Amino acid sequence: MGARCSKLSLCFWPSNTNLNDSSDIENGSRNEDSLPGFSEFSLDQLRVATGAFSSENIVSEHGEKAPNVVYRGKLADDRWIAVKRFNKSAWPDTRQFLEEARAVGQLRNERLANLIGCCCEAEERLLVAEFMPNETLSRHLFHWETQPMKWAMRLRVALYLAQALDYCSSKGRALYHDLNAYRVLFDKDGNPRLSCFGLMKNSRDGNSYSTNLAFTPPEYLRTGRVTAESVVYSFGTLLLDLLSGKHIPPSHALDLIRGKNFLMLMDSCLEGHFSNDDGTELVRLASRCLQYEPRERPNAKSLVIALAPLQKETEAPSYVLMGIQHGMSSPKETVPLTPLGEACSRRDLTAIHEILEKVGYKDDEGVANELSFQMWTNQIQETLNSKKRGDISFRSKDLATAIDCYTQFIEGGTMISPTVLARRSLCYLMSDMPQEALGDAMQAQVIHPDWPTALYLQAAALFSLGMDNDAHESLKDGSSLEAKKHTN
């Protein structure tokens, strides 16, 4: 969403490293001794680290609506951490939770966002992991702002993710729950890491393997059980994400592949940046992972062997390929939301109405209005009268009349007003018509690209449509525009 293209990190290989080697170096275990050990934290420690579990420190994709919320935090020794706080019913058995956490906590690998601790006090169940400051694969792949992810980087993400799965499998932890683009995180060097949270196999984390049945392994739909082959199927959906820059349902992708139209899968931003042979090989690998019969899918080790020879620009550090700042170990500073942004984030329609009414039309200043010769006729007066009647109805919350009058003004075509579109958008929201509200907010942004209000209203509409991830992106974009306004 937003003014950017809404389509919709990895260790540096030294020059003498053989990508085809299947040694420990290939699996990212060169510096395991330097990684933090596992320990048990007190609830007070984690409460202090997260600012009493402040909503401002929530980093999970669905915010406070997530069944199990993830917070960022800072320990007394200045280490940044990610804290996953489970729903009270997720782990009713204390002993089982501790045993599972300790088992996952024994894993140590540079391809993982490692589990470094847990907390189990009274009804609280919390996991503590290394904090990854450079966001998720979803953000960089689907919601990029400065540059699309390069082909070489996409290949590297695929390889490093396969290596993470291979490492886990070699340690007896082949099962991973709901592998997706939100589970792949980028560290301070731009290296991708697989979140350790999906390794907690006994958790009642959510009601199903995936929130979207179109991406769920077919055998899980039949049996309700996750297998190592199910994880490979999900890896295949991630390969499709990397190929296309979009979240394409596997059935649709396989139809294109069978019809030898695989180029239709490819992200248009990659045109001219990859060879047909490489593209064909990655598509072939994805289709193998997505086979209906689990036994026909490759294992994690085979994925590593297949992906290693495809790597490009192997001497380039990941942060260079990603175009991100190097060495940032703390969270990015977030720009506080304005009152309107806050109201939209809470979906407080009454507060939004009060703010839009108070602001009036001052934000329309500077928006060009090219009037035709008809401005000298009665048509312009009729158009302005429609707007005036719409404003009166908007003020009194006569929503149906306001929508009708604003529609007459918009369809008159003699003037453009992002504020009218914003007001009609809110009327649609208050009338439980979020799709129409989103359309108006997006049109307002087209007319006035640097107007935060348009993005904030998009967020409110997206929240109403259940598209929380995109809503949060719109809030971020709106707050970024606010920051630019104040610095100019």
Active site residues: 178
Q: Apex CA 183: angle with CA 328 and CA 139, to 5°? A: 60
- What DSSP string runs through 332-358? PPPPPPPHHHHHHHHT-HHHHHHHHHH
- For 366, counting Cβ atoms within 10 Å of its Cβ (0-12 exposed, 13-18 middle, 19+ buried), the class is exposed
What are the backbone dihedrals phi and psi of residue 238, each rounded to the nearest 5 degrees, phi first? -70, -35
Q: Tell me how crowded residue 349 is: count the other CB atoms within 10 A of its CB.
A: 17
Distances (CA, A) of 311 to 280, 299, 399: 14, 19, 57
DSSP code, position 457 = H
CA nearest 426: which of 413, 439, 410? 439
- What DSSP string runs through 209-223? S-S-GGGS-HHHHHH
Contact between 334 and 377 (Cβ < 8 Å): no
What are the backbone dihedrals phi and psi of residue 132, each rounded to the nearest 5 degrees, phi first? -110, 110
Helix (H, G, I), strand (E, B) or coil at 194: strand
Q: How far apart are CA 45 and CA 412, in angstroms?
A: 62
Contact between 477 and 459 (Cβ < 8 Å): no
Helix (H, G, I), strand (E, B) or coil at 414: coil
The residues, ordered by sequence, that sit 6+ positions from 438 with a Cβ below 8 Å of its Cβ are: 425, 458, 461, 462, 465
Helix (H, G, I), strand (E, B) or coil at 359: helix
Q: How far apart are CA 65 and CA 92, in angstroms?
A: 21
Handedness of CA 422, 427, 428, 434 (dihedral sign): positive
Distances (CA, A) of 301 to 161, 162, 192, 230: 11, 8, 18, 15
Contact between 174 and 231 (Cβ < 8 Å): yes
